[in-house]
Amino acid sequence: MEFIEFLKWLVGPGVEVTVGVLLAFLVENWPEYQELDSKTKRLIFLVSCLGIPVAGAAVGAAFKYWGWDFETVFWPAVQAGAVVFLASQATHAKFIKK
């Protein structure tokens, strides 16, 4: 996989894999993560879901693989992250502590 293909994957369908790996790393290597309240954990997850694809879009634009256009580059990245976050929250809604 070439770098541009990786970025396209990261901005779209790969966001869930990347966020999953990142959070698994956090859970394993940051013992205090388990002590955080569920609201803070969800916030970390939300920031990861939105930040990773947007960062991938920004890196692609910086390397001139595509432009800096919000509508065609960054908005789809935000949508991909939002879908992952919302799907996760809907799936785990009954387990979420208020």
pLDDT at 41 exceeding the cut of 60: yes
Mean pLDDT, to the nearest integer, of 46-73? 94
pLDDT band at 68 (very low <50, low <70, confident <90, very high): very high
**Whether this model's pTM surpasses 0.85:** no
pLDDT band at 98 (very low <50, low <70, confident <90, very high): low
pLDDT at 70 exceeding the cut of 80: yes
Tokens of 23: 């959070």
pLDDT band at 75 (very low <50, low <70, confident <90, very high): very high
Tokens of 63: 């390397």
- Integer Cα distance of 40 and 4 in angstroms: 33
The contacts found for 68-74 with CB under 8 angstroms, 24 or more apart, are none
| 16: CB partners within 8 A, 6+ apart | 84
- Integer Cα distance of 63 and 55 in angstroms: 12
Q: What is the pLDDT of the chain when averaged over all its residues?
A: 88
